[in-house]
Structure 1
Amino acid sequence: MTSDGPALLVVDDNEDNRYTLLRRLKREGHENVDVAENGQEALDLLGRQPYDLVLLDIMMPVLNGYETLERMKSDMRLRSIPVIMISAVDQIESVVRCIEAGAEDYLPKPFNTAILRARIHASLEKKRLRDQEAGYMKQIEVEKKRADDLLHATLPAAAVHELKSTNSVRPRQFEDVAVLFCDIVGFTTYCNNNSAETVVSHLQDLVCAFEDIATQNGLEKIKTIGDAFMATAGLLHHVESPAKASVRTGLEMIDAVAEHPSGWEIRIGIHMGPLVGGVIGQKNYAFDIWGDTVNIAARIVDHADPGTVLVSEAVWRNLQDAFDGKSKGMVELKGRGSHELIECACSR
């Protein structure tokens, strides 16, 4: 078989019939044609290589045309291949049986060459359109997955589910949410002293590691802002203890940075309380959170020492002795008054 043009398979036990049909097909410009002497031989060929059309006789030894057609249409790999029955059996019952079994068309022998040409062209065109439609559907699925991946990269999973179900994410008030801010120490200086490729590569590695750690502990990444990483616990899905989950996440993030080749250090600030959350934007969706809880968490991280997790008293009283703590006393947070801040460590 050559590689040019549609691939045809002629199935007939009579050598003269095969020769006549093969010669006629070549005159019509079909060079890509194989032949089989019976249904079983045809099925073997169909299992080894793709065909665009089968011209199938009925009365054959080993496996007749009816049985061959039925096996093709029951095989999910072969059922889309159009089949034209060409047979001296021209009783109406035979025609009906073949059409009902899935044959594309039925031509009696001796066949009219003009009609044969038209039926072959119509069958190949239908298959081309079906293949094109299948290709479009596959592309749609690829694009749909890409869109889903982008949504999941932009929004928390629960927000994606709500957006796809209702075409919106209802803004709402949330209670007792832990907000974690992570900041890379000396990031601006590092950017000035290293190539853009190095900076982005290291930041990408670290953010991916942070995302995995947050997910494993039940947190939801909200966004990154430059070198800052923000996540929440207890926002869109239940977490047994948002405070514990957040501190554990922070400590594991610090451990991850210690093993990172960039040599960076990070500091973590955590506060918890009520906040407002929702999706903003029309073309580029973004899930965001607002309120004093967010603002205080953002200010706490500024007071954390490198390599430490610093939490508010509101977080500490929800830890239930799960971690060791060292108070830094009352600290003035810009625009938010004085708050007692506690540095957390793993309990002994």
Structure 2
Amino acid sequence: MPSNKLTILIADDMDSIAEFIKAQLHTLSNDIDFQRARDGYETYRCALETSPDIILLDWEMPEISGMEALKNLKLNPKTQDIPVIIISSFSSSDKVKEALEAGAIDYVRKPIETDELIARVSSAMTLANTLRELKVQKQQLETEQKKTHHILKNILPAEIVKSLKSGVVIQPRPYRNVTIIMADLVNFTEKATRMSPRKLLDELRIIFTKFDEISQKHNCVRIKTIGDAYMGVSGMFSNSKEHALRAAKMACEMRDFIRDRNKQNGIQWELRIGLNSGEIIAGFISEHNLSYDIFGDNVNITARMQTYSGPMQINVSESTRKLLEPHYNFVRRVPQRVKGKGMIEMYYLHKPREDQSFNTKSINSNQHSPIT
């Protein structure tokens, strides 16, 4: 915690004058800490190291003059706001003007008159206290801004957060070529009843944090989580022609993470994943709701893909299969009747084609054999 005392740096090469100034200023307040410098270089170094609240700076000092020190102080962002009062035997108005134009807030002539010194330093103390308060308020504001940014980053896509910070009005807009990823945990409700709330939230936090990392790795965007459900989109901001391939790699790596974690974790989770490609509309639900969501028929189809998927399977639509056909083999499933859509073709993502090179692990087709 910073001290409530004000710190005054007295910069003068003559001990008698420095002690005189210190003695007079003690009458102002007992809550003043004094520092001492004997030349311009020492003044500048001390100001950088300790950030005094006020500097009383003698113009005529050896080595580096007080005026040169003042100019250097005003050039450095760390010291440029410190109030500086120049003390000098120069009495001409030109010298006063020069000091004020260089950045001094006031000017005291030698020989020093006590009343004038106290009055000018008292005024500088008021300014220093105001600067202190502003600095604290600025730090508090920056802390709150960081908290707000962290919250927004966790609930909104990074690109949307950047736009909001830039003052851009986010309008609903279509994205014509994307792949939607939906995943949920199998038998979540049943398993949740056997866990404490803290354990349940810890499990979801670990799993979804990893899913976020996987999403970022493959340039996909997490849209939202609802309970045990996770939704993301590939190609939304990147306009990549490989949006389906990135979504497939993301889905495979999500599943691999769950498999690997189950080997070391007492709670055994299984995923159902659905993929579908096409056009969506994205935007905020309302002016008063920060939920950035996606809409459209293809979102509904993706939800059906996920619902009709088997445990630890990746169920893809016909549109996604066509985009992934150069890269993956598929297992065709029995078409399913979907309300409002009739019979829909579905396929399980089987394994990468032998001539393809992937960073994701190969799918073990013997585990959880596809439903045919």
Using structure 1 for the length normalisation, give the TM-score: 0.90
- Aligned-partner SS, 2:205: helix
Decide whether the 8 Å contact of 1:38 with 1:64 is kept in 2.
yes
In the alignment, is residue 320 of structure 1 matched against residue 321 of structure 2?
A: no
**In structure 1, what is the Cα distance between the partners aligned to 2:64 and 2:173?**
68
- In terms of mean alpha carbon deviation, does 291-300 or 65-74 score higher? 65-74
> What is the CA-CA distance between 1:253 and the residue it aligns to?
0.5
**In structure 2, what is the Cα distance between the partners aligned to 1:129 and 1:280?**
43
In the alignment, is residue 256 of structure 1 matched against residue 257 of structure 2?
A: yes
Residues 175 and 88 of structure 1: CA distance in aligned 2, closer, same or farther (over 3 Å): closer
**Deviation beyond 4 Å, 4+ runs, structure 1:** 161-167
Matches within 5 A, 1:306-345: 306-345=311-350
- In terms of mean alpha carbon deviation, does 267-276 or 135-144 score higher? 135-144
Q: CA offsets, 1:301-340, max 9 Å, x none? A: 1221111101112211111331121111212234432112
> What is the CA-CA distance between 1:13 and the residue it aligns to?
2.5
Could you tell me which residue of structure 2 aligns to residue 290 of structure 1? 295
Residues 191 and 165 of structure 1: CA distance in aligned 2, closer, same or farther (over 3 Å): same
> What is the CA-CA distance between 1:215 and the residue it aligns to?
2.1
- Aligned-partner SS, 2:193: helix
Unaligned runs of at least 5 residues, structure 2 = 355-372
**In structure 1, what is the Cα distance between the partners aligned to 2:294 and 2:4?**
60
Residues 74 and 169 of structure 1: CA distance in aligned 2, closer, same or farther (over 3 Å): closer
Matches within 5 A, 1:98-109: 98-109=99-110
- Aligned-partner SS, 2:269: coil
> What is the CA-CA distance between 1:165 and the residue it aligns to?
5.3
Residues 41 and 341 of structure 1: CA distance in aligned 2, closer, same or farther (over 3 Å): closer
Could you tell me which residue of structure 2 aligns to residue 45 of structure 1? 46
Letter matched to residue 85 of structure 1: I
> What is the CA-CA distance between 1:162 and the residue it aligns to?
4.6
Could you tell me which residue of structure 2 aligns to residue 20 of structure 1? 20
Decide whether the 8 Å contact of 2:181 with 2:231 is kept in 1.
yes
**In structure 2, what is the Cα distance between the partners aligned to 1:49 and 1:263?**
57
Could you tell me which residue of structure 1 aligns to residue 362 of structure 2? none
Residues 184 and 4 of structure 1: CA distance in aligned 2, closer, same or farther (over 3 Å): closer
Letter matched to residue 11 of structure 1: A
Could you tell me which residue of structure 1 aligns to residue 307 of structure 2? 302
- Aligned-partner SS, 1:329: coil
- Aligned-partner SS, 1:259: helix
- Aligned-partner SS, 1:67: helix
- Aligned-partner SS, 1:317: helix
Decide whether the 8 Å contact of 2:182 with 2:306 is kept in 1.
yes
- In terms of mean alpha carbon deviation, does 39-48 or 212-221 score higher? 39-48
RMSD of equivalent CA atoms: 2.3
Count of residue pairs brought into register by the alignment: 346
Letter matched to residue 247 of structure 1: A
> What is the CA-CA distance between 1:265 and the residue it aligns to?
1.0
**In structure 2, what is the Cα distance between the partners aligned to 1:252 and 1:68?**
60
Could you tell me which residue of structure 2 aligns to residue 87 of structure 1? 88
Decide whether the 8 Å contact of 1:8 with 1:51 is kept in 2.
yes
Residues 62 and 273 of structure 1: CA distance in aligned 2, closer, same or farther (over 3 Å): closer
Could you tell me which residue of structure 2 aligns to residue 142 of structure 1? 143
- In terms of mean alpha carbon deviation, does 36-45 or 280-289 score higher? 36-45
**In structure 2, what is the Cα distance between the partners aligned to 1:185 and 1:4?**
59
Q: CA offsets, 1:74-124, max 9 Å, x none? A: 333222221112222212222122112111111112333222222112112
Q: CA offsets, 1:216-238, max 9 Å, x none? A: 22222111111011112233431
- In terms of mean alpha carbon deviation, does 146-155 or 253-262 score higher? 146-155
> What is the CA-CA distance between 1:271 and the residue it aligns to?
1.8
Decide whether the 8 Å contact of 2:314 with 2:348 is kept in 1.
yes
Aligned mate of 1:281, from 275, 278, 286: 286
**In structure 1, what is the Cα distance between the partners aligned to 2:4 and 2:284?**
53
> What is the CA-CA distance between 1:146 and the residue it aligns to?
3.3
**In structure 2, what is the Cα distance between the partners aligned to 1:257 and 1:146?**
31
Letter matched to residue 204 of structure 2: L
- In terms of mean alpha carbon deviation, does 120-129 or 275-284 score higher? 275-284
Residues 63 and 220 of structure 1: CA distance in aligned 2, closer, same or farther (over 3 Å): closer
- Aligned-partner SS, 2:180: strand
Letter matched to residue 18 of structure 2: R
**In structure 2, what is the Cα distance between the partners aligned to 1:43 and 1:332?**
79
- In terms of mean alpha carbon deviation, does 89-98 or 322-331 score higher? 89-98
**In structure 2, what is the Cα distance between the partners aligned to 1:314 and 1:158?**
27
Decide whether the 8 Å contact of 1:299 with 1:334 is kept in 2.
no
Letter matched to residue 340 of structure 1: E
**In structure 2, what is the Cα distance between the partners aligned to 1:163 and 1:85?**
46
Residues 159 and 124 of structure 1: CA distance in aligned 2, closer, same or farther (over 3 Å): same
In the alignment, is residue 346 of structure 1 matched against residue 327 of structure 2?
A: no
- In terms of mean alpha carbon deviation, does 195-204 or 27-36 score higher? 27-36
Could you tell me which residue of structure 1 aligns to residue 367 of structure 2? none
Residues 346 and 4 of structure 1: CA distance in aligned 2, closer, same or farther (over 3 Å): same
- In terms of mean alpha carbon deviation, does 76-85 or 35-44 score higher? 35-44
Could you tell me which residue of structure 2 aligns to residue 5 of structure 1? 5
Decide whether the 8 Å contact of 1:178 with 1:273 is kept in 2.
yes
Decide whether the 8 Å contact of 2:24 with 2:118 is kept in 1.
no
**In structure 2, what is the Cα distance between the partners aligned to 1:43 and 1:114?**
28
- In terms of mean alpha carbon deviation, does 275-284 or 154-163 score higher? 154-163
Q: CA offsets, 1:175-204, max 9 Å, x none? A: 343221101011111111111111111111
